């Protein structure tokens, strides 16, 4: 939200004080156009932020890992390449148990 507000404020200020005074003489019209420019840039910033926040993370379904050598058999299955240092569970009724090695 702060980035969207900053995008609006900076764009409106630059348009209203630097660019538009040479093109539009009326003060009211100039700031109306500057505000519209600010809204357009803020909308683009908000759309990019939404895309960035909701994009698939690396390694999740929907993100391509070309050449990883891992393939899962079904929609709720997992595939691990290398060592798994944690818990991996699938299904609605998965029960996770952690058993520690005895140190003798």
What's the total number of domains in the chain?
Answer: 1
Write phi, then psi, for 89 (nearest 5 degrees): -135, 150
Structural domain includes residue 48 = yes
Residue 46 has pLDDT above 90, yes or no: yes
Structural domain includes residue 73 = no
Structural domain includes residue 46 = yes
pTM of the complete model beyond 0.85: no
Range of the domain at 7: 2-54
65: pLDDT confidence band, cut at 50, 70 and 90? very low
Structural domain includes residue 104 = no
Of residues 78 and 63, the one with the higher pLDDT is 78
Distance of alpha carbon 65 from alpha carbon 97, whole angstroms: 30
Structural domain includes residue 93 = no
Q: Which residues of 44-75 are buried (b: 16+ CB within 10 A; e: fewer)?
A: ebbeeeeeeeeeeeeeeeeeeeeeeeeeeeee
Structural domain includes residue 50 = yes
68: pLDDT confidence band, cut at 50, 70 and 90? low
């Amino acid at each position: 939200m702060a980035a969207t507000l900053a995008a609006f404020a900076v764009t409106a200020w630059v348009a209203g004080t630097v660019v538009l005074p040479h093109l539009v003489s009326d003060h009211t019209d100039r700031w109306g156009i500057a505000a519209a420019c600010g809204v357009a840039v803020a909308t683009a910033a908000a759309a990019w932020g939404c895309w960035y926040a909701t994009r698939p993370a690396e390694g999740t379904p929907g993100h391509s890992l070309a050449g990883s050598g891992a393939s899962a058999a079904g929609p709720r299955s997992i595939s691990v390449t290398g060592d798994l240092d944690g818990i991996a569970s699938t299904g609605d009724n998965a029960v996770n148990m952690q058993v520690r090695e005895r140190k003798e």
